[in-house]
Structure 1
Amino acid sequence: MSSIEKQALDLTAHHAVTNAIDPQGALAGSATGKVLFITGASQGIGRATAAAFAAAGAKSIYATARSEQGLQEAREVVKEANPNTDYAYMSIDVTDAMQVSAAVDDCVAKFGGVDVADANAGALGPWKKLAVSDPDGWWTTFEVNVRGAYHVARYCLPHLIESAAKPQEDGAQGGHLILVSSVGAQLLVDGASDYQTSKHTINRLCEFVHSDHGAEGVKCFAMHPGGVATEIGKSMPEYMHAHLNDPPELAAAFAVWLSSGQADWAAGRYLSANWDIKELVSMKARILEDDLLVNRLRARW
């Protein structure tokens, strides 16, 4: 947990799935009847998220990523978590609007809609100071992280609005959009301008989704997934690897919790998978009253 997070909320940090967010514990059945559309599902956090939603009872998983082999492997993981969960996939590049649009259309054609969308695909280039950075590489990181998330939001939102308007089998509304952010969005580390700027932008994009479509029932969250030793995570400088001490299942379980209806009051905000859920909920009044966990410029005169 960063110093900025501690100043906002003094919460216990967890580095393993607790019962409060366990898809087979407190959240068992919370995804019943729901359709999940997810990007970056071929490995790591994305694959774990698909499995977690299946374990929580999801009706269908529509998985996307660049690696077709990884998506086929993810199908087996989903089947193991819940053999009753339907699974379909499409290999896409999230920076291509038409490819994302086609995948969303195929998901709707196969499964009837989208109840939860998870923009999980991400990129992280070599950490270099601006004066020696590679322009194409810098922008590629931004394109994948921001443009990719925008595409998921843009093409899933009409279906999420429809989902939010209809009752779900478990009584909870649908219409949840999860944008995978990072604690890096709150930090300023030399050499990480592409990644940290893009994740800071994700937080603001989440706020705009809430501002534009919250009244239509969409609940959007910018989620820090914890420090996970994914391929992206391990591409950070070696001195950062000590912070990669969370399993991908933690972020996956937290995503299920975010879409369970229990976090709807915090829509439009940045939330961390490491935070203790009971403590977070106990601070609901303070968070809303002081407008915490959003991008704001504060000054004293």
Structure 2
Amino acid sequence: MARTDTIGLRPSTIKTFHKKPYPAISPLRPELAQAGKTILVAGASSGIGYSIARAFVQAKASRVILLGRREGPLKTAATTLATFSKDNTTTVIPIVCDVTNPSDTARVFDTLKADNIFVDVLVLNAATTGEIKPLLAAGLDSVWRAFEVNVRTLLDLSSRFHKQEFPQGQPRQKYIVNVSTSAIHNFETDAHVLPTYGLTKNSGTLLMQQIAKDVSPDDMQIVSFHPGGILTESAAKAGITEEMYDWDDENLPGHFAVWLASPEAKFAHGRMLTAHWDVDELKGEAKGKMEGQWNYLKLGVVGL
């Protein structure tokens, strides 16, 4: 679930704030082309995951693999996404998988290995919002289930992704794009309404930050990002309506994710960004701060 509150989303170094896609992050840019690559999107049958999968199809990836629990919506998504492939350059593959079940994820990666398919880009999008209750009212089982979905799943998929054997022994650049949320730090708004969501997504984003600390971006580039305020299926089920917020264009997170899975975003390895920020401005003063301050745009305790 994503909100459009902008508290804490406008750093002094970024002046331009986008709510719609723009040329610099277009999946049609030759510099962002994904030709020859295989993309795996967890939680891809609808909403933000679907938008991200569509952008990678538009960027001419060789394969876009969709993971989801529901076979019907997954197959429908795959069929529709295939229509966005110019000249049928992209094969869209739906795979039914409960990503919270390690046996299921093991089966997926074992099957890909047997078929000699190497995943180049992993998009971590599957998530749960948890209950709209205080943590103690939600109870242990409910809160812990959210940890399993929003934290353990990230560790499981990232580990399997990283351990892949290179085809013919040739090293290939890997990219992880983690779909996070402003709720990891917007404690006055998002995390206040959805405390379980804010807590567990914060933990998941910190997990990716810690993994990034120990791997080179030349091996596995990792960036987390807030996708913006998108009226998703899960948001609608939670009672949120179109009239409640000034929603962002649903294509914004998809296009931004393609940019994150490119060498242009290497300087943001291990950081937390938002899809609203102008990438050309990010390459300026903000990039300098990331290169000079190890904790800039990372999770930590403000004031220490």
TM-score range, shorter chain: 0.7 to 0.9
| Structure 2 partner of 1:262 | 264
Match of 1:122 among 108, 115, 127: 127
Say if 2:35 is the partner of 1:36.
no
> What's the CA shift for 1:6?
2.7
Deviations 1:261-290 (A, max 9, x none): 110111111011111111111121122213
| Structure 2 partner of 1:156 | 161
Note the 1:275-290 alignment, pairs <5 A: 275-283=277-285, 284-290=287-293
CA distance in 1, matches of 2:58, 2:31: 7
Which of 57-66 and 157-166 deviates more?
157-166
Q: 2:93 is paired with a residue of what secondary structure?
A: strand
| Higher relative contact order (Cα pairs below 8 Å, separated by 6+ residues) | 2
Say if 2:71 is the partner of 1:68.
yes
Q: 2:64 is paired with a residue of what secondary structure?
A: strand
Output the TM-score relative to the length of structure 2: 0.87
CA distance in 2, matches of 1:204, 1:98: 25
Match of 2:9 among 5, 26, 29: 5
> What's the CA shift for 1:164?
12
> What's the CA shift for 1:37?
1.1
> For residue 272 of structure 2, what is the amino acid of its counterpart?
Y
Q: Check conservation: 2:126, 2:150, Cα contact below 8 A.
A: yes
Which of 5-14 and 175-184 deviates more?
5-14
| Structure 2 partner of 1:227 | 229
| Structure 2 partner of 1:81 | 84
| Structure 2 partner of 1:293 | 297
CA distance in 1, matches of 2:61, 2:9: 32
Q: 1:12 is paired with a residue of what secondary structure?
A: coil
Task: In structure 2, list runs of 5 or more residues that go unmatched.
Answer: none
Deviating beyond 3 angstroms after TM superposition, the runs of 4 or more aligned structure 1 residues are 7-11, 108-111, 160-167, 234-244
> What's the CA shift for 1:123?
0.8
Q: Check conservation: 2:46, 2:233, Cα contact below 8 A.
A: no
CA distance in 2, matches of 1:163, 1:124: 41
Q: Check conservation: 1:35, 1:58, Cα contact below 8 A.
A: yes
Cα separation, partners in 2 of 1:145 and 1:241, compared to 1, 3 Å: farther
State percent identity of aligned pairs: 26
> What's the CA shift for 1:240?
10
> What's the CA shift for 1:97?
0.8
> What's the CA shift for 1:298?
4.5
Match of 1:14 among 6, 12, 18: 18
| Structure 2 partner of 1:204 | 206
Q: Say which structure is richer in helix.
A: 1
Cα separation, partners in 2 of 1:87 and 1:238, compared to 1, 3 Å: closer
Cα separation, partners in 2 of 1:116 and 1:13, compared to 1, 3 Å: same
Cα separation, partners in 2 of 1:237 and 1:132, compared to 1, 3 Å: farther
Say if 2:183 is the partner of 1:184.
yes
> What's the CA shift for 1:114?
0.8
Q: Check conservation: 2:50, 2:77, Cα contact below 8 A.
A: yes
Output the TM-score relative to the length of structure 1: 0.88
> What's the CA shift for 1:148?
1.6
Q: 1:190 is paired with a residue of what secondary structure?
A: helix
RMSD of aligned C-alpha atoms? 2.6
Cα separation, partners in 2 of 1:216 and 1:281, compared to 1, 3 Å: closer
| Structure 1 partner of 2:141 | 136
CA distance in 1, matches of 2:10, 2:250: 23
Deviations 1:201-238 (A, max 9, x none): 12211112212222661101112111111122335564
Q: Check conservation: 2:27, 2:258, Cα contact below 8 A.
A: yes
Q: Check conservation: 2:36, 2:61, Cα contact below 8 A.
A: yes
Say if 2:95 is the partner of 1:90.
yes
Say if 2:23 is the partner of 1:23.
no
> For residue 16 of structure 2, what is the amino acid of its counterpart?
T
Deviations 1:166-218 (A, max 9, x none): 46xxxxxx300111110111122334221001111122111122122226611
> For residue 71 of structure 1, what is the amino acid of its counterpart?
L
CA distance in 2, matches of 1:157, 1:220: 11
Deviations 1:93-131 (A, max 9, x none): 111111112112223333520100011111112311233
Q: Check conservation: 2:49, 2:125, Cα contact below 8 A.
A: yes
